[in-house]
Amino acid sequence: MIITLKDGSTKEYSEPKSIIEIAADISEGLARMACAGEVNGEVEDLRTVIDKDCNLSILTFNDEGGKAAFRHTTSHIMAQAIKRLYPETKLAIGPSIADGFYYDVDRETPLTSEDLEKIEAEMKKIVKEDLKLERFELPRAEAIAFMKEKEEPYKVELIEDLPEDAVISFYRQGEFTDLCAGPHLMSTKPVKAFKLTSLAGAYWRGSEKNKMLQRIYGTAFTKKAELEEYLHMIEEAKKRDHRKLGKELGLFMMSEDGPGFPFFLPKGMDLKNALMDYWREIHRKAGYVEISTPIILNRRLWDKENMYTTVIDDEDYAIKPMNCPGGVLVYKSEPRSYRDLPLRLAEVGLVHRHEKSGQLHGLMRVRCFNQDDAHIFMTPEQIKDEIKGVANLIDQVYKLFGFKYHVELSTRPEDSMGSDEDWEVATEGLRGALDDLGLDYVVNEGDGAFYGPKIDFHLEDSIGRTWQCGTIQLDFQLPQRFELEYTGADGEKHRPIMIHRVVYGSVERFIGILIEHFAGAFPTWLAPVQVKVLPISDKYADYGKKVLDALHEAGIRAEMDTRSEKIGYKIREAQGQKIPYMLIAGAKEEEAGLVSVRSRFAGDEGQRSLEQFIADIKEEIASRVNRPVTVETKENK
């Protein structure tokens, strides 16, 4: 058999070989680092025996599949430690997840943070024992009997729900055996850098009708330094939590009278409006026209669940969960010619989706949000240029905020609509645009939407977390469903192609990301309060008011601290509110007609005429620069 490796080289064997044996044949070092294998695109256990020609990649912790196997093994080590310490505990499920792993357990006495320390200590013992993981299979009846004997009712239920022809596999390590499909490491020994991070509640199988279990979260890395870096990021993320900062900075609130429905406060609206002013400016320059479509329309326009619905004149209506049909109806409202295309319709539309209460999270997961949609209608020949235009727009926005990003191209899934020819044209249009722009991208085969391929932009914030925000989706199906047409140069009727795209995604979620990215210390152009006027005492309140009026007249968002407090206290308060500039007004300033400038970026900047300060800050706001920090001050720590 011929094994084709990731780099294109081949290995030839006359008899079947397991993936770990092939890895060892390539190099002992690779075998030590191997976590799993990828055979013809499918992630497999290292114990999997290969007996025919295939493409094979040996996955290490640096690969997503390898990372998942490593962390899944850690979840088994944790479960083993729990059973050693608390044998009466019943085990549910314990998968790997994006940043680590978890295990759901059922206990009469809930675990505490002190218990987590004991579990970690026991896990370290299991790692030192270098227990080999052995995979074996059992017929359904034997598998059920095996788990009943172990008094693991959740495992029994899982087995009973498997299809009749399912392979029922287990992994054994020492005295511990778990129902599991794998893949797993060869032994417990490589798992040396791990941390149990938190406890939470979780309904069995995610249903509120079932029993509430306890979920133990953790993470694992191959090196201690990587674990410490990750834990530092988590601590930093806690400090930057947009829910905490949103409350402290007076940006938004939530109410028990509307779970998942955010309230934007005056300062939050200043931030939101600054963001939308920028959005409208760049879209006008890029040739978009803005529309607004109704929030309630006939239910037949959407084929979606989790909608809020109502009945009007005996007909079913829905509060829109997405803007797309509204844009389509605008296109269809009048005859269109090829000369009208591309037609770029932009809409910041308020949409509602019924998210489960347990999934709501500040501004990141809400039930109503503004989506900065645009729907572009075009001819097939215009696909590449329009995609390039959208990609350039997204690039411009993300760079302004200081986000790095990576791009993913998702191709036709198995469950899809449309002809092979349409999909080929669409996919090559997206691929060609990315190639022309010189953007690096990863291809996700079969991960596109059912109606067309898509490009996703994953941005990276200031502490290394990634967020999927921008997306470009090509759609041949909606124009067909709504029978959209344009008259071509040949005088015949043709079907337009449609692009769905967002830049911010959800405006609310993007604001949440920005709060955490900047830790609430926004660039001056975005800051809800750009300048705080601080009179040294009540005696200089009139001069302070004169300064404040001049700032307001110049269109600068400013406030004055009129409290009878010492100036040092006022400065600290303004620093806590992360205000870009403070203007001190006292005797010297009033006599000379000046202001003493203190900034978040450089601390004390000395005295300046009010006119000069206004000219400087207006230029900073107009250019939308993110002024760099040049001096480490209390304001920017």
Specify burial of residue 359 (Cβ count, 10 A radius: 0-12, 13-18, 19+): exposed
Contacts of 414 (CB under 8 A, 6+ apart): 446
Q: Helix 140-149 and helix 153-160: axis angle, to 10°? A: 170
Give the C-alpha separation, 296 to 317, whole Å: 7
8-state DSSP, 337: B
pLDDT of residue 305: 84
Paired strand residues for 521? none
Residue 632 confidence (pLDDT) above 80 = no
Predicted local distance difference test score (pLDDT) of residue 635: 47
Which is it for strands 531-535 and 581-585: parallel, antiparallel or unpaired?
parallel
CA 264/CA 436 separation, integer angstroms: 41
pLDDT at 633 over 60: no
Alpha-carbon Rg for the chain, nearest whole angstrom, is 30
When pLDDT is averaged across residues 406-433 and rounded to a whole number, the result is 89
The residue-averaged pLDDT of 306-310 equals 93
Contact between 574 and 560 under an 8 Å Cβ cutoff? The reply is no
Written as one string, the DSSP assignment of 604-619 is: EEEEEEHHHHHHHHHH
Asked whether residue 129 carries a pLDDT value surpassing 70, the answer given is: yes
The residue-averaged pLDDT of 487-497 equals 96
Going by C-beta distance under 8 Å and a sequence separation of 6 or more, which residues neighbour residue 352?
A: 295, 307, 308, 319, 320, 321, 367, 368
Instruction: Using a pLDDT cut of 70, give the percent of the chain over it.
Output: 99
Predicted confidence (pLDDT) per residue in 231-255, tens digit: 998 999 899 999 999 999 999 999 9
Higher-confidence residue: 632 or 545? 545
Average pLDDT estimate for 389-405: 95
Q: Measure the CA dihedral 295/299/303/308, to 10°.
A: 60
Spatial distance between the Cα atoms of 300 and 298, rounded to a whole number of angstroms:
6
Confidence band for 357, pLDDT divided at 50, 70 and 90 = confident
Q: What is the pLDDT of residues 520-569, one digit of tens each?
A: 999 999 999 999 999 999 999 999 999 999 999 999 999 999 999 999 99
Global pTM reads 0.82
Burial of 137 from C-beta contacts in 10 A (0-12 / 13-18 / 19+)? exposed
* CA within 13 Å, CB half, 109: 6
SS3 assignment, position 34: coil
Task: Convert the pLDDT of each residue in 91-126 to its tens digit.
Answer: 999 999 988 999 999 999 999 999 999 999 999 999
Tell me: the pLDDT tens digits for 556-609? 999 999 999 999 999 999 999 999 999 999 999 999 989 999 999 999 999 999
Q: What residues contact residue 65 under an 8 Å CB cut-off, 6+ apart?
A: 35, 36, 38, 43, 59, 183
Strands 315-319 and 296-298: antiparallel
Residues 6+ apart with CB under 8 A from 10: 2, 3, 4
**Interhelix angle 507-517/266-285, nearest 10 degrees:** 110
- Cβ pair 368, 351 in contact under 8 A: yes
Are residues 66 and 30 in contact, defined by beta-carbon separation less than 8 angstroms?
no
Token pair of 120 as six digits? 């970690």
376 contacts 342 by C-beta, under 8 angstroms: yes
Distance CA 571, CA 104 (A): 49
φ/ψ of residue 227, rounded to 5 = -65, -45
Task: Provide the pLDDT confidence category of residue 54 given band limits of 50, 70 and 90.
Answer: very high
Tell me the mean pLDDT in the region 206-218: 93
Q: What is the largest CA-CA distance in the chain?
A: 95
User: Residues 241, 516: contact at Cβ < 8 Å?
Assistant: yes
Query: Which phi and psi (to 5°) does residue 286 adopt?
Result: -90, 5
Strand partners, 565: none
pLDDT of residue 303: 83
Structure confidence at residue 629 (pLDDT): 84
Q: Which residues contact 528 (CB under 8 A, 6 or more apart)?
A: 249, 250, 251, 266, 267, 268, 270, 271, 522, 557
- The two tokens of residue 496 are 């337009």
Q: How far is CA 484 from CA 292, 333, 386, 587, in A?
A: 20, 10, 19, 70
Helices (H), 177-291: 224-239, 242-248, 266-285
pLDDT in tens, 432-477: 999 999 999 999 988 888 888 999 999 998 888 889 999 999 988 8
Catalytic residues: 324, 353, 371, 373, 375, 454, 500
What pLDDT, on a 0 to 100 scale, did the predictor assign at position 636? Answer: 52
What is the chain's percent helix, strand, coil content, to nearest 5? 35, 30, 35
Tell me how far apart the alpha carbons of residues 335 and 491 are, in angstroms, rounded to a whole number: 13
**pLDDT per residue as tens digits for the range 155-192:** 999 999 998 888 899 999 999 999 999 999 999 999 99
CA-wise closest residue to 123 among 67, 68, 195:
195
DSSP letter string over 101-139?
Answer: EEEEEE-SS---HHHHHHHHHHHHHHHHTTPBEEEEE--
Helix (H, G, I), strand (E, B) or coil at 194: strand
DSSP 78-91: HHHHHHHH-TTPEE
User: pLDDT of 5-15, one tens digit each?
Assistant: 988 899 999 99
d(C-alpha 595, C-alpha 603), whole Å: 14
What mean pLDDT is reported for the chain? 94
